Amino acid sequence: MKKTTILAFIAMFFGSFANADIGLNIGVSAQLGEISATGQEKNSDSQTNASDGVGTQKTSESALFGTAGFFLEKDLSFLPGRVGDIGSRISLGYDNIVHDISLGTSNNVRAQSLGAGGAAVPAGSNKLEADVTGFETIYAQINITDWLYVKAGEVTVDVSTNFTKNGVKSTDYGSSHELSGNVYGFGVQHTADNGLFFRLEYNNYDIDGKSVTSAGADSTLTAELKDVSGDTGRISIGKAF
């Protein structure tokens, strides 16, 4: 994640507390949706094929998931003149999911093969467990009316993996990975006179995949994650200052 950018962004929010005329929203949210992804373990040895336990193996999965988190938003009404009038309908936001998300477990079985430099790679069973340990979003939100808004942002996802070969933990594919992508959404909002607001929102996520080459004797193998996408419904409650 672009940690420096996020820290500066949060500092901008806290600096706003000293200025009551600068719009600031703080809230919590919960969302539920479905996410799908395609993964494969690919063998660069052209003499292998997908059906012999040595070549490329591919799988696609879809699953329901739920999250809870908090968000901070600040509008741009502090900008001078007419730009500030327009900016009062535009907010910059930061959203953070506050818990880990299990991505489940995947297994495959490999036949004996030749790896890098002719090194022998024994047959065995592989297992991969993965968890999302960080899910942060920086976004822009535009209020079309007093109750309808649209948003778009950049997502960064931290994934922790635990890979075992024949029951023995391996770091051939690493254990910490960062993914990035985009989110687009729209929603409706009701704000009470005391600044308390409620939201219902739809979001579409499109997250880039990643390719990692094995660092072990079987370095002809490459693990790829791609086509990560999902749709969620979200409910939020917060306070406007």
Half-sphere exposure of 2 (CA within 13 A, CB side): 12
Per-residue confidence (pLDDT) for residue 35, from 0 to 100: 86
Q: What would the two tokens of residue 182 be?
A: 């985009």
Rounded to whole angstroms, the Cα distance separating 130 from 132 reads 7
Per-residue confidence (pLDDT) for residue 18, from 0 to 100: 47
* Position 2, amino acid: K
For every one of its 241 residues, what pLDDT tens digit does the chain have, with 9 covering 90 and above?
A: 555 555 555 555 555 544 555 789 999 999 999 988 887 777 665 454 444 455 677 777 788 889 999 999 999 888 888 888 888 899 999 999 999 888 777 776 666 665 555 566 666 677 777 888 899 999 999 999 999 999 999 999 998 888 787 777 777 778 888 999 999 999 999 999 999 999 999 999 999 888 887 776 656 677 777 778 899 999 999 999 8
CA nearest to 160, candidates 182, 137, 127, 128: 128
Rounded to whole angstroms, the Cα distance separating 65 from 33 reads 6
* Position 113, amino acid: S
**Predicted TM-score (pTM) of this structure:** 0.81
Question: Which neighbouring-strand residues pair with 181?
Answer: 155, 207
* Position 33, amino acid: G
| Residues across the chain | 241
